[in-house]
Every structure is written in structure tokens, then in C-alpha cells.
Chain A
Amino acid sequence: MSQFLTISSNNELYRIAVEHIIYINADGNYCNFMQSTGEIHMVVLQLGQIEQLIAKQISNAEKHFIRIGRSLIINRNYIHYINVSKQQLVLADNNLSKYTISASQEALKKLKEIIGEEIK
């Protein structure tokens, strides 16, 4: 059974299955959800508020989501490639669509360590 993240405002409600979220990036006071369909959905919330909603609504959220810096939350299940020196993070979904994102070297180094721990 899928878990869903639901974001509700006065006028609209956005509900998305966790596995359909590739990443969420901040854009000022807005955030964009990159969905596994390739579509981007914008919500009028800050990334910190979305992080709170994830913590509230998703059980075992740590198995799904990692916050990277001030402007990114990724679905860790889609991590495909990390290149620390190029500051490059590639997320890939089941359809092998690839999403390349920039992040700081230090953050990627830590991410690489966390993911590396999983195979030990």
C-alpha cells in the first residue's frame, strides 16, 4: 500500500504517492515537486514546511527522504549517481529518466557516506 503526502490549502489539495516523488526543490516561497511522470507540480509552501509535513504524514520517512542543503529534498530510493568533485547528483526513476542536480561537494560527500553505509 502506497503512502501519500497530502498538501492542502484553502483552495486546493495535492496528494502524491511517496514513490512518485523524485525530488522537491525550493524556489523562494514556492517548491516544485519533480514527479516520476516527468511533470513538475508547484506548491506554495517553503521547503522547511514540506519537510515538516513529510515527518508528520509519512511513516519511516527516513527510508525515503533526505534533505540536502537549503533548497532540496530528494527521494533516496532514486539516487543513481553521485560525483562529488563535479558537484553532481543524478536521480533515476524506474523508467530510467535521469534528473541531474547540483549540490555542494560537502553535502554530496556526506550523502555518499550515508548511502555507502547501507551496503555494509
Chain B
Amino acid sequence: MRKQLNDIKDDEIREIYSEGTSKSKFPFVGIALAIAAIAILIVGGYLFFHKDTEDKLQEDAIIEESTIIENNASTPKECGKGEIIAYDTVCNNIPLQVIVPINLQPRLIIGDISPENDSIKLATRAADIREDNGEVVSACVIDGEVISLGIAKKGFCAIINNTIMIGCDEATSLFDESIECKGYFFRQYALIDNGEPISNRSKFKSNRIALCQIDNQTAIIKTSESVSLNTFADALVAFGCKNAISLNGGNAYGWYTDKNGTHNIYGNKFNSDHVTYIAWFEK
């Protein structure tokens, strides 16, 4: 059976081979491997059935020893190292960059941060700040402390016990829960709610950045070209996002640090204490 539609990612390609055509440039390699496998089975079978008792006792001893070693190695497994996976894709003809934080700790931060802080692996601007008084637009909770109130934007992100929840609800109980659990909460424009794109009146086109939920993963997805919120939402749905909210887009500053330690910076930075970031820290 040939591969189906979803067995290929957008950053992959494959030549389409006619049925019955060998993809291998070395068709005899497969035959040679099969002969080698049969030979190993025959030799293995011979050795297995012709071992004398002494060998068997030795073998039992070895097995026992290795069992003991295995039992001694019962220290808990180390938590997987945190990392960022970033890749490009295209959905609905919109080039997207997908940045996925793995095994990192998300937090909401108010104030200036920079890639020089090695513990931050990914950071991007989050909630909007009012220009007149420097306050966060709509409800915001940081470390369980209420920073601002309001439901001007229906989309929300709650970070409770290191878990990010994204949705669209004016009266979500996660606001209170984020206070009780000393978590984080902010609001932004909702893009997708339970797999459905949310229509937005604004037709303004800009580079866009979103915080998205895809299956059980959270990702930052950004465009490298100017699109409207509706176009962006449609592309995210096509990509498979179930929930998404818009983040500060345009030339909003952010970065991720890849596995080589390179800081991949986007947007323009202006030093100010009146900015919010969602950032992923090493645990």
C-alpha cells in the first residue's frame, strides 16, 4: 500500500515510483541481506541446540548477573532535555514557521528580556500593552497575581502547573484557577476555537504570530509575509491547529535558541518595561 496523504510532511518530498518499480539503486542488496539473515538463523539454531550442560549453566549465570545489573540500575530516568524544534511549512500557500518547545517550562513575563539569558529557549511578545498608561490590555495574571482585568479580547492563554491551555471564552474559570495555582493568564485575539476559525473584522495585513495547540503540543507559528487574521486562521486550521490565539505580530521581537545554541532572533527590539513575553525556560 502506498503512502497516504498525511504520511508526508510539508518539509518532505518524494519521487513517485510506478508500482512494481524498485526504489533501490542497488536491488541486489535486499537479496544479499535476506541470504545473510537466513544464514544467521541457521548458525544461531545450530548453536542453540548443541550447547552442553556446562555452557547452559554458564549462560544461566550470565543471565542472572545481567538481571542483577539491570535491577541495580533502577535510578529514575533523567527528564528529557528541553529543546526547540523549528521548521518551515506552507499551508494555503502561506509560508509558516513552526517553533515547538519540548520539555520546557512556560511563563509569562512583564518587562525586558534578552537571548543573553541562557535559561530562556524561546520567547515571543504576548499580550498587548496600552500605549497611554502602559497597562496590559485585558485580564492578566502573573505568578498568581492579578495585573489587570478585562475581557476586551476573548481569546486566552492560561499556564497552570506548567501546562498551557488556549481557548476562547469570556468567562473561563481558568482565570481564577491561574490565581489559585500561582499560574499565568493573559488574553489576546482568538484565531481558532475547537478547530473552527474565528472570523475577525479587521482586514489589516501584517506578519502574524500565534500561540497554537496542535494535538497535545503547543507551538508558536509565525508568517513571513503579511496576511489578515482571517487568512492566518484558515492557514492554521489547515495545518491542524485545534486552538490558537494571536500574539503581538508585525515586527514584534522574539527568539528561539536551537540545539546548536544559535539564537534565532526575529522582529525589532525596543527596550521597555511595558512589554509582555511568553517565554519557555529550561526546567
Known: A104-B89, A105-B88. A70 touches B18 (CB 8 A): no
The interface bits of chain A over 86-104 (1 if a CB of B lies within 8 angstroms of the residue's CB, else 0) are: 0100000000000001111
Contacts of A55 in B (CB 8 A): 2, 16-19
Q: How far is the CB of B208 from chain A (nearest CB, A)?
A: 16
In the bound complex, do residue B2 and residue A66 qualify as a contact, i.e. CB atoms below 8 Å apart? no
B58: CB under 8 A from chain A? no
In the bound complex, do residue B95 and residue A87 qualify as a contact, i.e. CB atoms below 8 Å apart? yes
Q: CA separation between A103 and B219, bound complex, in Å?
A: 20
The segment from B4-12, B191-199, B250-258 found at the interface with A is: B4-12
Contacts of A67 in B (CB 8 A): 8, 13-16
Known: A26-B5, A48-B4, A51-B2. A62 touches B11 (CB 8 A): no
Q: Indicate which residue in B8, B13, B17, B88 contacts A87 across the interface (CB closer than 8 Å).
A: B88
Q: CA separation between A48 and B94, bound complex, in Å?
A: 21
A107: CB under 8 A from chain B? yes
In the bound complex, do residue B93 and residue A68 qualify as a contact, i.e. CB atoms below 8 Å apart? no
How many residues of chain A get a CB closer than 8 Å to chain B's CBs? 36
A41: CB under 8 A from chain B? no
Q: CA separation between A66 and B8, bound complex, in Å?
A: 12
The interface bits of chain A over 48-82 (1 if a CB of B lies within 8 angstroms of the residue's CB, else 0) are: 11011011101111101111111101001000000
Q: How far is the CB of A65 from chain B (nearest CB, A)?
A: 4
Q: How far is the CB of B138 from chain A (nearest CB, A)?
A: 34
Instruction: Give 20 A-B pairs besides A51-B3, A69-B8, A69-B89 with Cβ atoms closer than 8 angstroms.
Output: A47-B5, A48-B4, A51-B16, A55-B2, A59-B18, A61-B17, A61-B18, A62-B15, A62-B16, A69-B10, A69-B90, A71-B10, A87-B95, A102-B90, A104-B90, A105-B11, A106-B11, A106-B12, A110-B12, A114-B13
Question: Hey, which bits of chain B sit against chain A, CB under 8 A?
Answer: 2-19, 21, 87-91, 93-95, 224
Question: Hey, which bits of chain A sit against chain B, CB under 8 A?
Answer: 26, 46-49, 51-52, 54-56, 58-62, 64-71, 73, 76, 87, 101-107, 110-111, 114
